[in-house]
Each structure stands twice: as C-alpha cells, then as structure tokens.
Structure 1
C-alpha cells in the first residue's frame, strides 16, 4: 500500500468520531462484549477510514483537510482500498446483526454521496450539513447501540436512547461547520458550498456557540435525570476546557481572520473529543 493511501485513510481521525460510540456504550444496559468489540473495530478501523479515503479520492484536496495538514496526491489505489475496507466491514457487520449490516451499508452510501461528483452533497450547504449531522450523530449512535447490546431497532425506541441520540446530532450540527472554517477558499475553488461558507467565519463561531450551549444543557438534563446530578455537573466541568479554548480562539479570530486555520481547528477537535471520550468512558465504567 502506498504511503499516500494510508495517510488519506486518516485512521487516527476516528478518535474525533469516537464520542458517539462511547456515548452509546455509556447508556447501554446489557453490553455484549463480543458485539461491542466487533462493532467498534468495524466502525473505527474499516467504515470510517473507507469513507475518508473515498471522499479524499474524489475531493483531491491540495490544502489541509481534517487530520492532514499537507495531503499528498491521491491515486486509484486509494479508491480500491476504500471499497475493500467497506466490503470487509459489511461482511463482518453481517455476522453482527442484519440491522447493523443494513445501517452501515446506508451510512457508507450517504458518506459516498457527500463527495461523489454525480451527487456531491458537499455542493448543497443545508443538505450536506444535515446529512453529516444526522448520520454521524443520531444514526451512528443508534447502530452502535443496537450492536453493543445485541438488540433490534425496536428495542431502542425508548426516550433514554432516542434523546441522547438526538442530542449527539444537535452537537454535531453545531460543531460540523467548525471543521469547514479553514477550507472556504479550497471549497470555493471546486465550486462547493458549505454551511460554514454561508455563515461566514464569525457567523460559524456564533452558530457553533449557540448549538454547543443548547446541546450541553440537554446533556446536563439527561445525565442528571438518568444517572445523577453529580454526573450532570461532571459533564459540564468536562466541557469547561472546550469552552475556554473556543472563547480564546474566537477572540483571536475577531482580531485576525487568518487565525481560523487548520491548526486551531484540529486543536479544538482534539480537546473536545478528549474531554467527551474521557467523560463517556467514566460514565460507562461508573
């Protein structure tokens, strides 16, 4: 495998998508250990990298993208490797459960539609934004939950499962535009229109801050009701470093728009993912 192919799979980037899976595990009542391990592997080492590679192949970015500051040129190998990873993920998913298989198949198709030139949801700011938020949030939460607990979709319809799933989408709908904030020039050059372009740099910050506050309030209520008030307060405390960094970065960007760059975005992603992952692991253990 070429080094460029491996880099474009962006396997470490799965760390930023891990909070949704860990949230599903934290609210699980009867974890099937084998199912949990297999579904974790399928999502984070097969489906997500396959999606990254497939989209990179069609985007052919020349400037920084999520997880890669200097993306190398793509080759046809990347396209085939991404399809192979998808296929292996689907085969393993079939043995996990029929529902999991169907849901990761749908996820893969939506992720491909995001960058494929025949559909390219990335050209549609609202549709692309909603697709990313819903399928990387609620949809992934749900497929993770049914796999971890070896349940059917019907078993996940209670509010204790649906509510955090909806909140994960709300959180992603707010944070997703931030991942596009440094790509305005690159996206415009390809003719893509993202939600962050529509909002503008400062507008993206304002939109994300509102979404963050609403979703954080929702999570505080949920954790306080389902677990304990202390867990709700611990969640808010865990979000403190995220809010602090976000606020300081916002002040820098108000003075200099060039501060809305790749390095700062990745730092925000890392801090928020680290704190969320840590809290959900704590919740799952406790």
Structure 2
C-alpha cells in the first residue's frame, strides 16, 4: 500500500540524519520528495561530510517513491524562493513540508556559560536552527495552504514537556530547540483557517551518521557502542522518526496533533509503526525514568 501516493513533500535538510530517514519513509509511502541541502556530489558544505542530497534522492527512489535532489541554502531567501517556484512549476502543489534544517552539531559549546561561549558560533547556530525554518515557511506555505490537509513538521530535539523541565547544557542550543517547538505552535495558529496543521516532532537518541561515527560503529553493529555509552541501548535509527512523519502525513485526523509537541516514541504507540529492528524505543520516557534518574542502563520495557 502507498498511502501517500500523489503527495508532494519538501524535506528541507535531507542530506543526512533525520532528514534522510524522513525522506526515505515518505518515499516508501509513495510520495514525491524534494530533498534539499547544501552538500552535493560535487560540492560539500562546511560539515565536510560525504553524505549528499543525491544519495538521499536515490534512497527515496529505491524505497518506492520519487526523489528529487535540489541544492539549496535555506538561509538564502532567494534560493528558497526559487526552490518553491520549481516545486510549483513541476508539481503544482505542496502537501508536506518538513523543516529539518539544523547543521550546527559542531557549533555548540557544551556546559559553557553564555559569557564564555563564542557569540559568533552561538548566533550562527541560532540562524541555522531558526532562521532557516522561518525563511522556508515564508516561501513554502503559500503553496501548501492552497489545498486542505497540508502538514508542516518542525523537527527539533526534545519535547515541550522535557525541555521545559531540563536545561539542554547550552544556552544557544536550549534556545534553538525550544524556539522551534514554539514555532510549530505559532504556525498551527496561522494554518488552522486553511485546514492545515503544524506539529513539533523530536526523535529520540538517533543513530545519525555523525553519531555512529562518533562511537565507531555502523547501523548493523550499533549495539557495540553501548560498551562506551551504556544508555545508547535506547537509541533509534533515523527511519523511526521517518515513519512517524509518514504516519502523520497519512492520518486523515492529523488535526488532533495541530500545535502539539510529540516524539517518535509517542507516535509509534499511537500508529503502531516500529523501527528497523522491530522495536518501539520510547527514548524520552527512558531519559526521565532511567538515565536522568541515575539508574543503570536497561532498556527493558522501553523498546
């Protein structure tokens, strides 16, 4: 079954990580997916990593959808405007917008007070995390609201409940991820008259390409990383949050999530999807009840 056949999606920030996982799962559900990012096979971004948007588009095609790679810097309004104009010209509509642009893993200075933190790195982080989402929404939403049931997914780190109760170890990181949650709530208010919805969504501890490299493992042997970090047993693949987005996009009653903050683990319980290994990791409950509580790593009852 292809529940999203005929749907058109823009995954902004689809080069790697959650964006790639989301693009693949939208494609597996039958959608046409525009995968954007800065790194192509002929040009790398400041990340200087090997993943490319063309690779993501190929994976979308392999999954059963139609992947279209478009290089775009979402901090550049002109490039985003041209991107949306291309989608309108080629498809005539936009059903799903996933604002996943981040690109700031290497900018955060953890456990460094604001008076010692680099302002240049901090403000760059905020621009990448927030400005890109606002710019993309500014140009993409006039196309999305032409038809009812459009969906905007604001990707972040942490649920509203968790972030309200916990400092995320960096003023700039904390501000960035909390602001995106609020952005989803604001967009939900503005989209409601058009019968479209906006949701803030977080994965759990995600096994992105960067995270796997950090622990010196691959997806096939990711459990070996628990030798270095025992709590990694609760981690999930990027495809898990991808299945969460696909489930939201295919839900005729998606308005029940409008303006809300949710997680891949919560949506898995509602929609019944599972990760690649057949599990349903509930990371945010695990963080509160096990990791933050100082208990030994044990994912029993949380996967």
TM-score using structure 2 length: 0.31
TM-score using structure 1 length: 0.32
More helix by share: 1
Q: Indicate the structure whose relative CO is greater, using CA pairs within 8 Å and at least 6 residues apart.
A: 1
More strand by share: 2
